[in-house]
Structures are given as structure tokens and as C-alpha cells.
Structure 1
């Protein structure tokens, strides 16, 4: 796999962002379970409160990391699309293929923007 290829980098960033989003969902489930703690000894309550605090911190970290991953993936897709457009304009290689690949990158960037907007209540200008 050519990791210098912008499209490969974009796919890797998108996969990483999806993993971080999954971690975020798991941590949210942990938080929900932590909120249901009751009728425990003081020591259990303190340990549970500390675990809940740590879970919230990790959830915040995962959320920020996933958001950053989506933003990097969007940027990589846009950069790859511009490079394919440039290659097509310069007549390098298969012009039609470059145009198709540029369009595909724009579609993937749009999909990442939509996911970002849904999961993080934030729109990204394209």
C-alpha cells in the first residue's frame, strides 16, 4: 500500500476517525452505566466517582480525537481532489480517471462533513 498516495492517506484518516467515533460511543455507554450507580458503600461510591470522572475525560479525549480525524480526512480528500483535477488539466495520464477520482474524493469529503455535522453538531464549509 502506497502511504504517500493522498487517497490512501485520506482512507486511513477516515478509518481512524470511524474507530474514534466507535470509542466515543463505547465511552458514552460507560458513562451511562456509571450514572446508574447507587446504594454502595462510601468507598465504592468514591471509586465509582473516580472511574466516572476518568470515563468522562476519556470520552472527551475520544470526541476531540474523532473530530480532529474527520477534519483531517476532509482536508486530505479535498487536497487529493485538487491534485487529480490538476493532473487532468495538465493532461497527465488518464484524464477521465483523474476526473472520476477527484469526484470520488469530493463525495467522500461530503460524507465526512455530514458525519461530522451529525456526530458533533458542527458544519464544515466545503
Structure 2
């Protein structure tokens, strides 16, 4: 099942919330994404059907290995592009917003080539360890 852009955003949000506080519930996702709990419910139903999330104890949202892999891919892309744009002097909020658009549009091949280019040519934004794999995962 192909995940739509909005589904990728939900997975990425779940990952970020898990890294910050562990347990994630629909209300946490709704607050972070500024969407209704009903929207989260529909998204979780679709992501469960695709095998990307499951519901744990007390309605906790848990990423499956497949969901975690996709979430980490999207998060890595988001970090790379927001760091590069911010490093070029783009306002932080604009860089985050534009990175979110770019992360979904780029093929895996193009992302790999761009990431390699930036690493090879000494681009060193402050958060580089996030997208080189050098950071400790929480």
C-alpha cells in the first residue's frame, strides 16, 4: 500500500513524539499537527490497514518496523532540507515548511545523490549529525 503525503506526515509526527516522550496517543498527534482527533482517527485506521502502525495498550500508537522505517526516512529528509535551507539563510519557519514539501516530492535516488553531494562538499549545517547517521538515536 502506497502511503500518501499526509500519511507520511503522520508517521513522521508519531516518530518525533515517541523520541520526545515515549507514549503517543491520538490526542498528542492531533495537538502536534493541529488537526482534529477525528482526522487522526481516520489516518490511524488507514495506516493500521497498511501495516504502518498498531494500537498498543491504552490506545497508544506504535509504529511497526515498516512504519518506523518510512518515518525515519521522512524525518531524515526533513532534517537535511531544513538544515540546508536554514544554513543558506532562509528563515527557520520557512525552511521547515519548505523542507516538508521537498521531502515528499524527491525520489530516493535524488535524495541519496543530494545527501552525498552535501556531505562530499563540506556542507556543515549545525544539525548535520541528524542526517549523517552520527547522532545517537533516542
**TM-score w.r.t. length of structure 2:** 0.29
More helix by share: 1
* Rg (Cα) greater in structure: 1
Relative CO higher for 1 or 2, CA cutoff 8 Å, sep ≥ 6?
1
